[in-house]
């Protein structure tokens, strides 16, 4: 397959990622069990009358997608593809609360209409008056990877030239309560903790929205080449190294060709074993982690791809992300490995433009 280029990258997260000097403002987030995304000034991007009717995930996606399209110099993309794990959770909860409070009678349909997972992609298309291919992937932690794979296939097959691809997930009060009850989220007594050497179960939960314009042609603003993606729903810890080595071999690479590896350490003592196994494959690479900056959530990999794009473009690695002290003079290949609590494993290979 020929390379597909990432021609713009925009992210709203727990970090100030809309700032041009974002590397200088990265701060670890390990003092609370739930961390929220930093809200931009939505009034600069969305009419006030519309803001009131939008959930946070729609607002974040609207701003991030506008940023991405503007940076790429694209008015209307040939397709809009969005990945999300939880969709519009806020409106889903509001609708279900109305069902209970009103004893299933006299319900207004607004919250139900806005609660569907494809609301984000639909709202972006309405704003752009874009009638092209519009699709939403809901595949937990590999939702963005499936979206990018779809876009890559369309571009390499000649069906599209520029595609807007994004990911988004928001927090909701009731869902966070349930995650705390089933110990998905770390208990307060286990905070703070060392992400790389955690002895306790659970994660810090975050939220955010990341959007990219994938294109057929390289531009002056191109960040990276999207070389390949591989996804596996289930993996045994003993199979991780084979999973990675086979993927690299398919791309005519070895572990020594990978200059930086971004791993999704979440602080969950059980599922982080996968990343520890993966580290042993790369004795000569710069090893990085990122969920101490973004938190864990279904589409947290959007933050890692965003950071990888900036690392490749700037040829610089932020100190706050480094696991080891290895530094490369030139960063040509970056591999991102992510999963969510041991399920839905993904590998994304990016190359220098």
pLDDT 10s digits, 301-334 = 999 999 999 999 999 999 999 999 998 999 999 9
C-alpha span between 211 and 222 (Å, rounded): 14
Q: What is the mean pLDDT of residues 123-134?
A: 96
Verdict on whether the full-model pTM lies above 0.85: yes
DSSP character at residue 136: E
Supply 170's token pair.
């928001």
CA 154 to chain centre: 21
DSSP label of 154: H
Whether 4-215 shares its CATH topology with 225-351 is answered yes
Mean pLDDT along residues 20-32: 89
- Is there a contact between 19 and 27 (Cβ–Cβ < 8 Å)? no
Q: What is the pLDDT of residue 109?
A: 78
CATH architecture of 225-351: 3-Layer(aba) Sandwich (3.40)
The domain spans of the chain are 4-215, 225-351
Choose which CATH entry (2.60.120.340, 3.40.30.10, 3.30.565.10, 3.40.47.10) describes domain 4-215: 3.40.47.10
For 179-210, the pLDDT digits (tens) are 999 999 999 999 989 999 999 999 999 999 99
pLDDT higher than 90, residue 92 = no
Q: Is 340 helix (H, G, I), strand (E, B) or coil?
A: strand
In angstroms, how far is the first alpha carbon of the chain from the final one?
16
Spatial contact of 166 and 211, defined as CB atoms under 8 Å apart: yes
Is the pLDDT assigned to residue 106 strictly greater than 90? Answer: no
pLDDT tier, 32 (very low <50, low <70, confident <90, very high otherwise):
confident
Give the confidence band of 1 by pLDDT, cuts at 50, 70, 90. low
């Amino acid at each position: 397959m020929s390379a597909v280029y990432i021609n713009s990258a925009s992210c709203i997260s727990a970090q100030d990622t809309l700032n041009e000097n974002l590397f200088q403002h990265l701060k670890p987030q390990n003092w609370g069990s739930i961390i929220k995304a930093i809200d931009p000034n939505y009034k600069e991007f969305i009419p006030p009358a519309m803001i009131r009717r939008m959930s946070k995930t729609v607002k974040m996606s609207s701003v991030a997608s506008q940023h991405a399209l503007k940076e790429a110099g694209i008015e209307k993309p040939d397709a809009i593809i969005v990945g999300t794990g939880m969709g519009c959770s806020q409106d889903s909860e509001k609708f279900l609360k109305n069902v209970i409070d009103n004893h299933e009678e006299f319900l207004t349909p607004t919250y139900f209409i806005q609660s569907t997972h494809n609301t984000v992609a639909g709202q972006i298309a309405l704003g752009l008056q874009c009638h092209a291919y519009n699709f939403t992937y809901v595949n937990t932690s590999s939702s963005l990877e499936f979206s990018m794979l779809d876009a890559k296939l369309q571009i390499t097959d000649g069906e599209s030239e520029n595609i807007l691809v994004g990911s988004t997930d928001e927090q909701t009060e009731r869902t966070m309560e349930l995650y705390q009850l089933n110990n998905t989220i770390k208990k307060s007594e286990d905070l703070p903790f060392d992400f790389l050497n955690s002895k306790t179960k659970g994660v810090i939960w975050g939220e955010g929205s990341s959007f990219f314009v994938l294109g057929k042609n390289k531009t002056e603003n191109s960040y990276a080449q999207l070389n390949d993606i591989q996804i596996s729903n289930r993996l045994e810890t003993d199979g991780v190294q084979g999973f990675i080595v086979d993927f690299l071999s398919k791309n005519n690479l070895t572990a020594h060709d990978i200059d930086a590896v971004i791993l999704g350490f979440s602080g969950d003592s059980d599922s982080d074993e996968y990343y520890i196994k993966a580290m042993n494959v790369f004795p000569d690479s710069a090893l990085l982690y990122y969920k101490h900056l973004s938190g864990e959530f279904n589409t947290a990999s959007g933050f890692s791809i965003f950071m990888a794009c900036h690392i490749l473009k700037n040829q610089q690695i932020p100190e706050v992300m480094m696991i080891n002290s290895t530094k490369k003079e030139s960063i040509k290949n970056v591999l991102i490995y992510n999963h969510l609590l041991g399920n839905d494993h993904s590998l994304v290979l990016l190359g220098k433009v």
